[in-house]
Amino acid sequence: MSARQLSRAGSGFALRLNLMRTCRLVAFVVAASVLRAVPARADGFISPFIGYNFGGDSGNCVSLTNCEEKRNNYGVSVGATGGLFGAELDFGYAPDFFGKTATGDNAVLTVMTNLMVVIPAGPVRPYGIVGLGLIRPHAQLNSSLTDVTQNTLGYDIGGGINIFILHSLGLRGDIRHMHTLQDITLGFFQNQPLDFWRASGGVTFRF
């Protein structure tokens, strides 16, 4: 390898390292700001969910209702709410996001820190969310090719509703839009942001 190639490789590594540090700093600042918005006396919650992606780069589903092949995603949201505001940490995983292959695999992992605005209307509680976090697409077209993974900063925005049938147990429906703030390159997915919607349903345990 020539000196010029070594210099370029070193510059690329330094750029990726600085980008990862920036993502971590932004996520920390957002998390700290969100936590400050939650009152000291708040209800904690955990919401496991399952759903599917649609729109944007989800080629299998053009829209929420026009969907030929639902590719499941699943995950869990944990957080706390008090009065009108709350905080949420949302983990989501979408296997085969770009389609199923016989010899390879692909997926998208999301880890988002969100501010919640809640309408405390008794047992029926609509909410909205907005936040920042990690969107991590991964792809390996076949077993002989290199596994490609890219960590990117992204945002999500959306909302949903919790219907509590008991004080500590409710049903949840949720729709949110996710978008990377950087371009993604995964071989077949070239130099463009990743953009999609997620619809999900689940249960909410309140404590």
Q: Is the pLDDT of residue 20 over 60?
A: no
Q: Is the pLDDT of residue 15 over 80?
A: no
Q: Is the pLDDT of residue 27 over 60?
A: no
Give residue-wise pLDDT tens across range 144-194. Answer: 566 788 999 999 999 999 999 999 999 999 999 999 999 988 766 678 899
Q: Is the pLDDT of residue 128 over 80?
A: yes
List Cα–Cα distances, 60 to 29, 54, 68, 99, in angstroms. Answer: 35, 7, 6, 8
List Cα–Cα distances, 108 to 82, 90, 115, 149, 152, in angstroms. Answer: 31, 14, 22, 9, 11
| Class of the CATH domain delimited by 3-206 | mainly beta
At residue 109, the pLDDT reads 97
Give residue-wise pLDDT tens across range 65-96. Answer: 888 788 899 999 999 998 899 999 999 999 99
At residue 8, the pLDDT reads 45
Query: Whole-model pTM?
Result: 0.79
List Cα–Cα distances, 71 to 42, 123, 147, 152, 166, in angstroms. Answer: 35, 31, 21, 22, 31
At residue 146, the pLDDT reads 66
Contact (CB, 8 A) for 77 and 88: yes
Predicted confidence band at 18 (pLDDT cuts at 50, 70, 90)? Answer: low
